Amino acid sequence: MTSRKDAEIIKSLRMNSRESTAGISRRTGIPVQTIMERIQKLESNGIIKGYVSLVDFSKLGYWIRVCYLIRAGSKRESLEEFLLESQHINNLQRIRGGFDLFAEAIFANLRELEEFQEALMRLGAEEVEGHHILSEEKFENFQIDV
């Protein structure tokens, strides 16, 4: 479990990972040096894994986003390897509950989408459910209690 100070720092970074340690200090009342030390500790312990930008891919010409539920069966390793190497995969998780993998994929056009889905079937996926994302209503919003 994290301390209250760590939780406040994590909350601040989740809201804006580009915020300076001075800005976090002003808002939380935690000294800058303490924030720097705690961030370094959170990173070295693998709690903070990295810093990313949240991108609107449609503004870059990638109009199609699909979440896939994949029942891989005996072909899980080869399917997982394909998905890990695919430029279209934004997120990939192993799951339970009737399916083996959950993948979020991004495509510029229907041709790319069709080729990707054909490759999944060619590699031996037992079942693939694709769910097109129409809009994002909420994302990256979970906050730990402070």
d(CA 107, CA 48): 29
| Architecture of the domain whose range is 4-44 | Orthogonal Bundle (1.10)
Per-residue burial over 87-102, b = 16 or more CB atoms within 10 Å of its CB, e = otherwise: ebbeebeeeeeebbbe
> Could you tell me the two tokens for 137?
């209503």
d(CA 12, CA 143): 10
Q: Which pLDDT belongs to residue 145?
A: 77
Q: Per residue in 76-111, pLDDT tens?
A: 999 999 999 999 999 999 999 999 999 999 999 999
pTM of the model as a whole: 0.84
Q: Per residue in 39-51, pLDDT tens?
A: 999 999 999 999 9
Q: Which pLDDT belongs to residue 140?
A: 84
Confidence of residue 144 (pLDDT cuts 50, 70, 90): confident
Q: Where are the domains of the chain?
A: 4-44, 57-132
Confidence of residue 1 (pLDDT cuts 50, 70, 90): low
pLDDT greater at residue 93 or residue 3:
93
Multiple choice CATH, 57-132, 3.40.1190.10, 3.30.565.60, 3.30.980.10, 3.30.70.920? 3.30.70.920
Q: Per residue in 6-41, pLDDT tens?
A: 999 999 999 999 999 999 999 999 999 999 999 999
d(CA 142, CA 75): 34
Asked, colleague to colleague, whether 4-44 and 57-132 share their fold, the answer is no
Confidence of residue 146 (pLDDT cuts 50, 70, 90): low
